[in-house]
Amino acid sequence: TVDSYMEFHNDANGSNLAARTEKYTEMINHYYDLCTDFYEWGWGQSFHFANRYRGENFYSSIARSEHWLALQMGLKPGMKVLDVGCGVGGPAREIARFANCNVVGVNNNAYQIQRAIKHTKSAELEHLVEFVKGNFMELPFPDNHFDAIYQIEATAHAPDKVACYSELYRVLKPGGVFASYEWCLTKKYDADNAEHVRIKKGIEEGDGLPDIATTDEVVIALTKSGYKVVKEEDRCLPLSPNDTPWYDPIAPKFTIKNIHHTEFGHNISTRFLRLLEKTRILNKGTADVQAFLHTAAVNLFLGGQKEIFTPSFFTLAIK
């Protein structure tokens, strides 16, 4: 339920970080059981952000970021690739098509696995893409099993970065690569700035995160896990003054696509959903889910605008 999820982020009587860390699988499953349908309706089948060139549409930018990742890994036909925290399989299908490689998606949420299998069957890609229910902290695969591994904004949910990356290291073949788009606090984040702390908390609450690592912490964790980090960069920094910011899809603007991200639009949406709940057209709690997703959008926008947060800190590491 919404109440049980929100209790993980209730810090009224002191930090609840320990509960979010210890019971992260329960918290994440609550979150995605509640949010997956909203994500698919509002975002598509690839649950991540991307920078956007001028004139490029949203879905093209998402696909381009996935193709770029595949190119960085040097994926080739016949390679066995692991998608960590695969969501409903959008990136796995896109990368499998692009590189003609075999992708295995792992996800600990049963509902998302169900959706991923359905979409993959509809796309007639079962010969290239498969899905396994499993916890990326304890993967159900043997040592040295995959030629390459990637994660796109998924291991942000990990309670311990070193333990998570070490488990991925275990199942990666020697010489294999691990490519990652990680949610991170940038060097501009100031832990003594009350506004920055509020934004960080809002992102954690709205997106089912136990905590948010800094870019330096991610690189250190990869090194401690045994990898050699060969590339690192913030892929959501504008490459040109003409680029559209990564947070533009959630910006509070009075346009058809963005009006629901304004306070006015949010209030109207909430009232409408409450009405549908009362008439039993929608399940009770739908408006509450929309409320914490709005919290996420507000704080992601602020974090991006102030350049204290990035959803795409890219690293390429070799075993």
| Mean pLDDT calculated for residue range 160-177 | 98
Mean pLDDT of the chain: 91
3-state secondary structure string across 151-168: EECCHHHCCCHHHHHHHH
Q: What is the pTM of this model?
A: 0.90
| Mean pLDDT calculated for residue range 98-124 | 97
Q: Is the pLDDT of residue 2 over 60?
A: no
Q: Is the pLDDT of residue 290 over 90?
A: no
What pLDDT band is residue 9 in, cutting at 50, 70 and 90? low
Q: Give the pLDDT of residue 288.
A: 79
Contact 307, 313 (CB under 8 A): no
Q: Give the pLDDT of residue 7.
A: 62
| Mean pLDDT calculated for residue range 12-16 | 58
Q: Give the pLDDT of residue 141.
A: 98
Contact 244, 257 (CB under 8 A): no
Instruction: Please state, in angstroms and rounded to a whole number, the distance separating the CA atoms of residues 88 and 118.
Output: 9
Instruction: Please state, in angstroms and rounded to a whole number, the distance separating the CA atoms of residues 97 and 143.
Output: 26
- Quick one: tokens of 194? 């009350």
Q: Is the pLDDT of residue 24 over 70?
A: no
Instruction: Please state, in angstroms and rounded to a whole number, the distance separating the CA atoms of residues 235 and 310.
Output: 8
Given 3-state DSSP classes, what are the helix, strand and coil percentages for the chain, each rounded to the nearest 5?
45, 20, 35
Listed residue (131, 149, 175, 129) closest to 82, CA to CA: 149
Instruction: Please state, in angstroms and rounded to a whole number, the distance separating the CA atoms of residues 45 and 129.
Output: 15
Neighbours of 292 (CB within 10 A): 21
Q: Give the pLDDT of residue 293.
A: 85
Element (H or E) spanning 148, and its range? strand 146-152
Q: Give the pLDDT of residue 83.
A: 98
Q: Concatenate the DSSP letters of all residues of 185-241 into one string.
A: E-TT--TT-HHHHHHHHHHHHHHT-S---BHHHHHHHHHHTT-EEEEEEETTS-SST
Instruction: Please state, in angstroms and rounded to a whole number, the distance separating the CA atoms of residues 39 and 109.
Output: 14
